Chains A and B, each alone.
Chain A
Amino acid sequence: MKRGTRPSGAQTLQWVSERGIFFFTAALVAFAALFIDNFVSIVNITDVFHRAAPIGIVAVGMTFVVISGNYLDLSVVAQVATAAVVLIAVSNSAGLGLAVLAALAIALLYGVVNGVAVGYLRANAVIVTLSTTFVGLGILRWLSGGSIFFGPPDGPIRALGQVKVVGLPLSALVLVVMTAALAFLLGRTNFGFLIRSFGSNRTATRLAGVDTSRVVVGAFLITSLSAMVAGFVLAAFSNTAVSTMAQGFDFGALAAIIIGGTSVFGGKGSVLRTLLGVIFVSVLTNILVLSKIGFGWQQMAIGALIVLAVSVDTLARKAARR
């Protein structure tokens, strides 16, 4: 009897690790809608999207770096804050067009520096992006003096932050569009295929004649551009920007990616999974907030989820090998 049940246990684990996040996210949203007071209200749903959108946009972009087998990009903390501060500060003095161009140039610079160091110099991504975080945040705080920048109350950034699309804030639409575009890029294009194959087997991809270094630069560029968009969304939402505004985005985005079921060993995962991970974490946090459960418990829940998600994945793979 015991022998008979074992494969079914392994199958359950495998099902949970592969399809679980779709089911659990739906179940969590249904639970919240049914049992949590005030969850289904325009104010609350708007709030959930406002909080989820910036870190979600970072996470869908960073999925490329994770799937390429390079762990994460710690420097998104500096990148998001820099994009937000540049957008508001430069547009105050030199106009919106120049501000966007400046932010774009900085994002490209981050992507190229991180990508070249990791891709061409084969340096460890954690250390490279750690050092670019130090340098980037240092420059940002030094130049901004750590002060808060306000956009004009009748300016275009403020107006964009107030736009609603079918009742939802523009940031939610940006998150959805970014997810769709990046999901297409990762799942349906040659570049996406190369990222995934590099993540699952570096040597084989290299031996197949692919310029793998360039692929890695591409993954970091996508992350940087997403971080820039996230910075814009964050700045438009509050019409303010400060160098500390993206604290915790590095590991927060990675947590959503892992909970979505993307493997940090590279090769396995998808952008849609990351979106589900973001929704799952945001809805769970919202439920805890609405139930007046403190910040400490919220952090513990996220940590436990990371360990749980990866434990299930690991045990499923072990069971499959048996």
Chain B
Amino acid sequence: MADAVTQVDTPVRGASSPSPKGRGFDVKRLPGFATVAWMCLLVLYAPMLVLVLFSVNDNRSVTIWTKFSWRWYEEVINNEGIQHATVLSLKVAVVAMVVATAVATMAALATTRTRAYRGLPVVYGIINQPLMVPEIVTAVATLSFFALIKQATGVTGLGYLILAHTVFCIPFAYMPIRARLEDMDLTLEQASADLYATPWRTFRRVTFPLLLPGIFAGAMLAFVISLDDVVISLLVAGPGESTLPIYIIGQLRRGVTPEMNAVSTIFLAVSILLVTFFFVLARARK
């Protein structure tokens, strides 16, 4: 793929090649597009930079800069509400991630590298279903369903929230695992089978190690998605089950405080770190 691109690139962009429109005519350039692109970048990052900047500002006002200080971070660390919410968020995200990744890995193994079989499109449809329904619809549907179960069985607990998270994490975990599998070399597994390895042994010693970067990438996405969720958690979570986003949205309704900047900055940093890690893993493909 990369080779094909460079091959196309060279004759087109090479300034030395004789072009009917004369030297230096770049067929790829469209005037003004670069400006818009830089503007987009500015628009995307400026608000986040403001958020980060005022998280280290020693002033209750989130508009006027006075001096650098870590005090809001100290307050965040000592805030019991945030502590509880963080622990709960992590609990939910870790369990949802583990279950979703395991289930998605199995599904990916059975839906890639095979001939099209009956029911395959249906399986694809089911796995991607959480992506196709608007979040608010999933949220109220899950709420209604769980209310019904709670009424019938009387069982309550964190399990419901975790289950709801697992569902929408599955397609996100599935995507990179499937992509990795499709890129993998089938001949290695065939060689292993030729050398009298059982299917299980082939999976453990050949397929699984090769698939591992994909599994990590999938787990990463599932974790981030679970951690970020607002709408479904807001409707499904029972009393006392405030995840960090629910806590933040509750606080924001009461007004903007620099403490919220600090906790948001930490949240932002974690997300960016995980996504960067995901990028590195995806790059490790070749």
A and B: bona fide binding partners: no
Q: Contact residues of A with B, CB < 8 Å? A: none
